[in-house]
Amino acid sequence: MKKIAIIDYGAGNLHSVRKAFAYLGAEAEILEEAPSVVNFDSLVLPGVGNFGPGMEELEKRGFHPFLRKWLNEDRPFLGICLGMQFLFERSEECPGEKGLGFLEGEIRRFNDPSLRVPQIGWNAVRPKEKNNPLFRDIEEGSYFYFVHSYYCVPKNASVIGSTTAYGLEYCSSLWRGNAFAVQFHPEKSQEKGLVMLRNFLNI
């Protein structure tokens, strides 16, 4: 059985994520602070809330160096929603707060006045590459559930795992080695979301 660790920084929807992995037969542990001993296979960083306070809480609980080490060692990682945005250098949501800097780029707010912001609801996701293991057995254009006002703008387009259209075509998931991140919520995306989480378990 795969063992998953889910980072708790006080603002994530971690219980629904934990329930989804449990449904798939994975043991899920909640980490309230950076562990001194690693006894799990994969790491998940869920997230809702504000970029600035979220980064401050990650630092307070000792997750900054732990996350950077995990990511640099190319261990299986899944960021969800704000957990995806944390991977970048900075965000318009909180200009003075630095992100983890695992990826070059920034987080921008949807600024089209014709759009409803935040984007809430189902939207189509289009994988950039057919061999993306996170999207195995998921048809192109499948719908996933989104709740967000900001989107990721990677400096290097090669890390874009998929795109979604909402006023513009934006990066809706990332893929770099064994690190994956999604702007949508697979744990709230019914059957397709469970397929995606199962794919992550198999990485």
Supply the CATH number for residue 12's domain.
3.40.50.880
Q: Which residue among 81, 106, 148, 152 is the active-site one?
A: 81
Q: Which residue among 106, 148, 152, 185 is the active-site one?
A: 185
The DSSP code for 182 is E
Q: Which residue among 93, 152, 171, 187 is the active-site one?
A: 187
Residue 1 has pLDDT above 90, yes or no: no
Q: For residue 12, name the pLDDT band (cuts at 50, 70, 90).
A: low
Domain count across the chain: 1
Domain that includes residue 103, residue range: 3-201
Helix H segments across 1-116?
Answer: 14-23, 51-60, 63-72, 82-85
Whether the model clears a pTM of 0.85, i.e. scores above it, the answer is yes
The reply to whether 81 belongs to the active site is: yes
Give the H or E element holding residue 90: strand 90-91
The reply to whether 185 belongs to the active site is: yes
So what's the pLDDT on residue 15?
86
